[in-house]
Homo-oligomer: A and B are copies of this chain.
Amino acid sequence: MSDIKKVVLAYSGGLDTSIILRWLQETYQCEVVTFTADLGQGEELEPARAKAQQMGIKEIYIEDLREEFVRDYVFPMFRANTVYEGEYLLGTSIARPLIAKRLVEIANETGADAISHGATGKGNDQVRFELGAYALKPGIQVIAPWREWDLLSREKLMTYAKNNDIPVDFAKQGTKSPYSMDANLLHISYEGGILENPWTEAEEEMWRWSVSPEQAPEQPTYIELTYEKGDIVAIDGERLKPHEVLSKLNKLGGENGIGRLDLVENRYVGMKSRGCYETPGGTIMLKAHRAIESITLDREVAHLKDELMPKYAEIIYNGYWWSPERQMMQQMIDESQKVVNGVVRLKLYKGNVIVAGRQSPDSLFDESIATFEDDAGAYDQKDAAGFIKLNALRLRIAANKGRGQL
Instruction: Give A contacts to B, CB under 8 Å.
Output: 81, 85-87, 101, 120-122, 126-127, 130-131, 134-139, 144, 146-147, 152-153, 180, 191-192, 196-201, 213-214, 218, 220, 260, 262-266, 269-274, 290-291, 294-295, 298-304, 306-307, 310-311, 314, 320, 322-325, 327-329, 331-332, 335-336, 339, 345, 347, 349-352, 354-359, 362-367, 369-374, 379-401, 403-406
Contact = CB atoms under 8 A, between A and B. Distances in A.
B127 A391 contact: yes
A307 to B, nearest CB: 5
Nearest to A260: B354
Given A294-B264, A352-B352, A269 B405 contact: no
A199 B357 contact: yes
B393 A359 contact: no
B272 A388 contact: no
Contact of A196 (B127, B144, B367): B367
Given A121-B381, A127-B391, 17 more contacts: A122-B369, A134-B388, A134-B396, A138-B395, A153-B374, A180-B372, A198-B363, A199-B357, A201-B357, A262-B356, A270-B391, A301-B324, A322-B405, A349-B351, A364-B394, A383-B385, A386-B389
A295 B269 contact: no
Contacts of A397: 138, 270-271, 364, 366, 369
A39 B360 CA distance: 38
A290 B131 contact: no
B350 A352 contact: yes
Nearest to A355: B262
A384 B385 CA distance: 10
Contacts of A131: 388, 391-392, 395
A104 to B, nearest CB: 9
Contacts of A370: 122, 196, 271-274
Of the candidates A81, A191, A362, A393, the one having the most CB atoms from chain B within 10 angstroms of its own CB is A393
Of the candidates A331, A332, A374, A383, the one having the most CB atoms from chain B within 10 angstroms of its own CB is A383
Given A393-B270, A395-B323, A397-B366, A328 B345 contact: no
A272 B295 contact: yes
A352 B348 CA distance: 12
A369 B130 CA distance: 20
Contacts of A366: 271-272, 397, 400-401
Contact of A272 (B196, B306, B364): B364
Contacts of A139: 400
B270 A385 contact: no
